[in-house]
A = this chain, B = another copy of it.
Amino acid sequence: MKLKEFAREIGLSPTTVSRALSGYPEVNEATRARVMEEAARLGYRPNINAVRLATGRAGAIGVVMTKAGDYQFSEFMSGMADRLSSEDIDILITPMAEHDTGDELQLYRRLAESRRVDAVVIHSPRPRDPRIALLHQLKLPFIVHGRSATEVPHAWLDIDNEGAIKRSTEHLLDLGHRRIALLNGREGLTFTLHRLAGYRAALAERGVAFDPKLVTHGNFTDEIGFRFARTALEQRPRPTAFVAGSMMTALGVYRAARSMNLVIGRDISVIAHDDVFPYLTAENMAPSLSTTRSSIRAAGSRITDLLLQMLSGREASDIGELWPIELILRETSRPAPKDAAE
């Protein structure tokens, strides 16, 4: 059923019906009530594409999906979905094709020009991220999940990566550890740099020398966690503690330690960052894993909320949230073994 038919059916003009259904103030309340009721009864629903053409709104928030599978992605999406379930807005996933890899900007440009989305979320920013300048220039509203040092004003939400890793490192130092390895994220990303900064700051404060051999960069996979931990543990003197970037890398560290007959929580301490997953929890690891934790799902929800605010007129430059991280001590953060103190 279309608007015209429906309007005729209930003896009103399309105009009034449209206004009643869209919540315009100038409609008599009694009329509105009747329209709503009749719409429900007769099953009238506006054609979304017509609405979009007429209003120019797309009714969707865009997310670009990189080809690399990412286990955090679905949690973030769930968070977005939580917030959007009460709105008439969808999430539009734009696949990033292989050939876009070299030219990611082109993808964002097309997305903006196609007007398929009202706003987008930018993930994994770099300190000077060209996507930010581009979207700003194209005037497509966006929010950055993470942070960037670019001078273009923009909305962002980030967790305190520097503080989190600093705190983990400090805690391990307090426990007497001196050789602490860091499993960092992919090189060049802002959060990776922040984590490194937190790590170095903690060492510097305690007068512990920074050793680049104790730091690695890469994706958050068990494989990388394992390989790096193996290599690190083969050094002499070997590290007595690891700061792991994710639960997956922590699993790799566990495995490396076991494969060398080292006991996590005794010979080796570990503190990992936990994005909070429903299917893999730090409490349930053996031994239970000490973590800095922050729900990526909550971030997805809040980011969506902020984006909706921007679509209602809030200034992007007003928006910037830095979420603190809690350090949760469990069984894997223990005093450094005496014999390893050199």
Cα distance, A75 to B67, chains bound together (Å):
10
Residue from B47, B50, B85, B95 within 8 A of A96 (CB atoms): B85
Q: Which of A15-23, A110-118, A314-322 sits within the interface?
A: A110-118
> Do B90 and A94 touch across chains, with their CB atoms under 8 A apart?
yes
CB-defined contacts of A100 to chain B, threshold 8 Å: 85
Minimum distance in angstroms from A18 CB to a CB of chain B: 16
> Do B226 and A284 touch across chains, with their CB atoms under 8 A apart?
yes
Q: Given A74-B70, A93-B91, do A252 and B85 touch, yes or no (CB 8 Å)?
A: no
Minimum distance in angstroms from A112 CB to a CB of chain B: 10
CB-defined contacts of A98 to chain B, threshold 8 Å: 85
Cα distance, A48 to B48, chains bound together (Å):
13
Closest B residue by C-beta to A223? B284
Interface centre among A52, A70, A86, A286 (most CB of B within 10 A): A286
Q: Which residues of A contact B (CB under 8 A)?
A: 43, 45, 47-50, 52-53, 56, 58-60, 65, 67-71, 73-75, 77-78, 80-82, 84-86, 90-98, 100, 110, 113-116, 219-223, 226, 248, 251-252, 254-255, 258-259, 277-281, 284-286, 297
14 contacts between A and B (CB under 8 A): A47-B53, A48-B115, A49-B53, A52-B52, A52-B53, A53-B53, A67-B81, A70-B279, A81-B93, A82-B95, A85-B98, A91-B95, A92-B93, A222-B281
Given contacts A81-B93, A92-B92, A222-B280, 7 further A-B contacts (CB under 8 A): A45-B113, A67-B81, A86-B97, A90-B92, A221-B280, A222-B279, A248-B279
